[in-house]
Amino acid sequence: MRFRIRRQALVIAVAVVAVLLTPTAQANVVDPPPGALGMSAPACSEEDCLGQDPLVTRCASDAYTPKNGWRDLAGGGYLEHRYSPRCHASWTRVSRSTNGDVISVENTQERRHGATIATSGVTEWTGMVPNRWGLDEARACAFSRQVPTCTDWY
């Protein structure tokens, strides 16, 4: 029994060394073609996105909420500034909103888009405004239960 365990350990060790010493081909690393990663090209960019829906234009696929880009609302909802680096555009998204809440997104070039919430408890969003690095900043705002709330500029 002892001999069999030693022999198995020796066979495993030889196999591992053989695998480690076997030369392997170098893989050529290339960028995948557009759309290969499941992200098709967005339907708009920058100014072309003004007022458009981020879901319809596929800008929401790479969007994120920047640091300090969210706030709690007086009506119990949650306000977010959403930004798409591929589209260079921003919009406001609100979750658990209250009927009558008003949400908007604005940039430093005075481009704005807004919406009024018609059904409580849902997630809603505005159309987009351009948000180009070095040219614009944007922020998300809401008016919930007569209390104005805005995120930081980003």
Q: Which residue has the tokens 């997630």?
A: 123
Domain residues of the chain, as ranges?
A: 49-150
Distant-in-sequence, close-in-space partners of 58: CB < 8 Å, separation ≥ 6: 39, 40, 41, 42, 43
Is the predicted pLDDT of residue 16 greater than 50, yes or no? no
DSSP per position, 100-146: T-EEEEEETTS-EEEEE--STT--EE--BEE--TTT--EEEEEEETT
Spatial distance between the Cα atoms of 44 and 52, rounded to a whole number of angstroms = 9
DSSP 18: H
Spatial distance between the Cα atoms of 140 and 153, rounded to a whole number of angstroms = 8
Spatial distance between the Cα atoms of 32 and 85, rounded to a whole number of angstroms = 19
pLDDT of residue 39: 65
Tens digit of each residue's pLDDT (9 = 90 or more) over 48-99: 999 999 999 999 999 999 998 999 999 899 999 999 999 999 999 999 999 9
Confidence band of 25 (pLDDT split at 50, 70, 90):
very low
Distance of CA 12 to the CA centre of its chain: 47
Spatial distance between the Cα atoms of 154 and 137, rounded to a whole number of angstroms = 5
- What 3-state class would DSSP assign to 6? helix
Tens digit of each residue's pLDDT (9 = 90 or more) over 102-152: 999 999 999 999 999 999 999 999 999 999 988 899 999 999 999 999 999
